[in-house]
Amino acid sequence: MKDGYVPKPIDIWSIGICIYTYLTEKLPFNGESDIEIQIATKEKDFEIEKWMSEELQEVLVKTLNKGPLKRCTIEELKKCKWFQL
């Protein structure tokens, strides 16, 4: 692991960001600068919308986990019910 980069967990994070953004038309973590976004990511969770199904919430929670080594693997992600619908 060089400079904190762990490829697979970061790729899973990106999947979560993309899914959230595509479905809500907004970013899960907001800020005026990169530093503000980094702080927001560390300090608050993303917003769960009322219309989000439990299956979608499961995908977002598993992919947007702030602990890189706690995020799901791609194999675990593919087993989520949201992808089975």
Fold assignment, 7-83 = Transferase(Phosphotransferase); domain 1 (1.10.510)
Give pLDDT, residue 77.
93
For residue range 23-68, list pLDDT tens digits in order. 999 888 776 665 655 545 565 678 889 999 999 999 999 998 888 8
pLDDT of residue 28: 85
Secondary structure of the chain as H, E, C letters: CECCECHHHHHHHHHHHHHHHHHHCCCCCCCCCHHHHHHHHHHCCCCCCCCCCHHHHHHHHHHCCCCHHHCCCHHHHHCCHHHCC
Enumerate the domain spans of the chain: 7-83
The model carries a pTM of 0.79
